[in-house]
Chains A and B, each alone.
Chain A
Amino acid sequence: MDSTITLFLLQDGLINGSIYALLAVAFVLLFAVTRIIFVAQGDFVAYGGLTFAALQQGSVPGSIWLLAGLGIIAGTLEFLRERRALTRPKVLGILAGDFVFPLTLTGVAILAAPQDMPYLFDMALALTLVVPMGPYIYRICFRPMASASVLVLLIASVGVHWLMIGLGLLFFGAEGYRAAPMFGANFALGPVPVSAQSLLVMGATLALLVGFYLFFGRTLAGKALMATAVNARGASLVGISPSFSGRTAFLMAAFVGAISGILIAPLTTLYYDSGFLIGLKGFVAAIVAGFASFPLAVAGAIAIGIAEAVSAFFASAFKEVIVFSLILPILIWRSIRAPHLEED
């Protein structure tokens, strides 16, 4: 293996690793705040990427119907839940947030899709179509069972995953799509060609990770979210609403998923069910980090990305096998070192 190939594999590994790192952070965040192992995390990658690709090709993305449906269901449930205490501002809030907002977005998407819109517009529209699904899903499925056990929550999230996969097939069809890159340029880093898009992926990942760091370390809102993760009852005693924290965590997780999908859509062909395997690697990185440490999750994700690139080069048919078997010793080692995550 000469140094050109090494650099090439490293580049590949870093790109994939970046995406896994983002997803791992989302897994850790969501679990810490809501105790939900959100299996559908990866589906947001596919939805983000495919919605974006559809907009680029001038077709209306089917995901808009899911957005509209989720909004209407969430809003209707909210009306039922609050029926005894409905005030004017509450009614207006629900109407605006759960009916007008998603339906307007749906309309915008239908009108804008056939037009030749700028790249950034398509990107922003894809994000605003997919990201709100996160908080809606939380409100519909998970908030009513907030005090359920981790296992029950996991089963529910598997349910959400299968639903998203099934609907994904309906919305996007069985064929794969690849989006056009934001910048077509290529650079040469020594002997290795580096595409501008891959630099974009790594740059955006770095920016997002720094953003997370600042949000949790420096802002009261970030600390409040962390507080829910550290001690949920303590958080509610100072007036941090658990359901607000849940919605925020789901918003961030959906954002991370969708932006990852949009960023890698020009680099790889995405299918309606591609998200699962991508998400799984982020998930494994989150496990490596014991669902607790953000830096460990990022390090684990980058390592998985590189291991994957290297094994793809030597034995591409066994790529996944190699990656997941490499992970086993780490997991065994972890389970020996930290047999229990104590719950207080």
Chain B
Amino acid sequence: MSVLLTATDLSVSYGKVVAVHNIAIELPGSGIVTLIGANGAGKSTTLLSLMGVLPAKGKLMFDGIDITKSPVEERVEMGISLVSEKRDLFSSMSVEDNLRLGCYRRNRSHGGEALEEVFGRFPRLKERRRQLAATLSGGERQMLAMGRALMARPRLLMLDEPSLGLAPLIVRDIFRIVTDLRDSGIAILLVEQNARAALEVASAGYVMELGEITTHGPASELINDRRLIESYLGIG
């Protein structure tokens, strides 16, 4: 499997506090890789720095190109998208405007097709295309955030806790959509509190503790790791 993204010696600090310390991550060109860890371990920080939203030290390669110094918009243009933990929607704009802005930098010439595709995947958004993003329910907001990211037809989609705060039934929908996206060939980096569910759909996983990666390997091995079961997975 070809490598799509490599991060080496990646460190991120908030002022003097080092939140992510010298981590290394390698993502293949397809399939799901999951990043799990306790609250405050540094998962969101890692995703934000891979996206270029937070400045980081270290080295970052995407598709063979050094993107360590590239600003966010260049990373978007190359095909990296992030659905952030906060969602970061344009709350005073309509659902459709939010989506159309999703292909502002990449895939704009196929914006119409992409919009139909997103509406096909999330029929709920089509019904509410004129509604303001601020008035959507939690599940709909999550769908809109994913839909906006998909408008750019990314090669690597990073999802920060897509199931956060959603009812179990909707969580199941979201996981189904994530696996559909994987099957359509998009590489996915998935951060999840629900570590067991994440490892079940992923091919590989990384475990973060206090800003460092302590374990990584194929998902099938991690899911049976006794220490992980005790600290994150519970009794399955």
In A76-125, which residues have CB < 8 Å from any B CB?
84-85
Give Cα A230–Cα B105 distance, bound, in whole angstroms: 18
B3 close to A (CB within 8 Å):
no
Q: Is the CB of B69 within 8 A of A239?
A: no
Identify which of B73, B90, B149 contacts A231 (C-beta below 8 A). B90
Identify which of B81, B92, B149 contacts A230 (C-beta below 8 A). B92
A6 close to B (CB within 8 Å):
no
Give Cα A237–Cα B54 distance, bound, in whole angstroms: 12
A249 close to B (CB within 8 Å):
no
Identify which of B53, B71, B152 contacts A238 (C-beta below 8 A). B152
In B78-104, which residues have CB < 8 Å from any A CB?
81-82, 84, 86-93, 97, 100-104
Give Cα A223–Cα B148 distance, bound, in whole angstroms: 15
A84 to chain B, nearest CB (A): 8
Q: Is the CB of A85 within 8 A of B101?
A: no
Total number of B residues with any Cβ neighbor in A under 8 Å: 30
Question: Known contacts A220-B101, A227-B101: does B91 contact A239 (CB below 8 Å)?
Answer: no
Residues on the A chain within 8 Å of B92, using CB: 230
Give Cα A237–Cα B151 distance, bound, in whole angstroms: 12
Residues on the B chain within 8 Å of A220, using CB: 100-101, 104
In A209-250, which residues have CB < 8 Å from any B CB?
220, 223-224, 226-227, 230-231, 233-241
Residues on the A chain within 8 Å of B76, using CB: 237-239
Give Cα A233–Cα B44 distance, bound, in whole angstroms: 14
B43 close to A (CB within 8 Å):
no
Residues on the B chain within 8 Å of A224, using CB: 101, 104
A313 to chain B, nearest CB (A): 41
Q: Which of B51, B86, B105 has the most CB of A within 10 A?
A: B105
Identify which of B90, B103, B106, B152 contacts A234 (C-beta below 8 A). B90
B209 close to A (CB within 8 Å):
no
Give Cα A237–Cα B52 distance, bound, in whole angstroms: 9
Q: Is the CB of A239 within 8 A of B88?
A: no
Residues on the A chain within 8 Å of B72, using CB: 236-237, 239, 241
Closest to A217 in B: B97
B77 close to A (CB within 8 Å):
yes
Q: Is the CB of A236 within 8 A of B73?
A: yes
B161 to chain A, nearest CB (A): 16
Residues on the B chain within 8 Å of A226, using CB: 90, 93
Closest to B97 in A: A223
Q: Is the CB of A227 within 8 A of B90?
A: yes
A233 to chain B, nearest CB (A): 5
Q: Is the CB of A230 within 8 A of B93?
A: yes
Identify which of A84, A227, A241 contacts B71 (C-beta below 8 A). A241
B14 to chain A, nearest CB (A): 13
Give Cα A226–Cα B89 distance, bound, in whole angstroms: 12
Q: What 1/0 flags go to B189-206 for Cβ under 8 Å of A?
A: 000000000000000000
Give Cα A239–Cα B77 distance, bound, in whole angstroms: 7
Residues on the A chain within 8 Å of B87, using CB: 234
Identify which of A85, A233, A235 contacts B84 (C-beta below 8 A). A233
Q: Is the CB of A240 within 8 A of B104?
A: yes
Closest to A224 in B: B104
Give Cα A239–Cα B91 distance, bound, in whole angstroms: 18
Q: Is the CB of A241 within 8 A of B101?
A: no
Give Cα A226–Cα B53 distance, bound, in whole angstroms: 19
Residues on the B chain within 8 Å of A231, using CB: 88-91
In A176-233, which residues have CB < 8 Å from any B CB?
220, 223-224, 226-227, 230-231, 233
Supply 13 A–B pairs (Cβ within 8 Å), ascending by A. A84-B69, A85-B69, A220-B101, A227-B93, A231-B90, A234-B87, A235-B101, A236-B53, A237-B81, A237-B149, A239-B105, A240-B105, A241-B72
Told that A220-B100, A226-B90, A241-B71 touch, could you supply 10 new A-B pairs with CB distance under 8 A? Answer: A223-B101, A227-B93, A230-B92, A231-B89, A234-B89, A237-B72, A237-B81, A237-B149, A239-B73, A241-B72
Residues of A within 8 A of B (CB): 84-85, 220, 223-224, 226-227, 230-231, 233-241
Question: Nearest 8 CB-CB pairs, A to B?
Answer: A239-B105, A239-B76, A234-B88, A239-B73, A236-B72, A241-B73, A230-B90, A233-B88
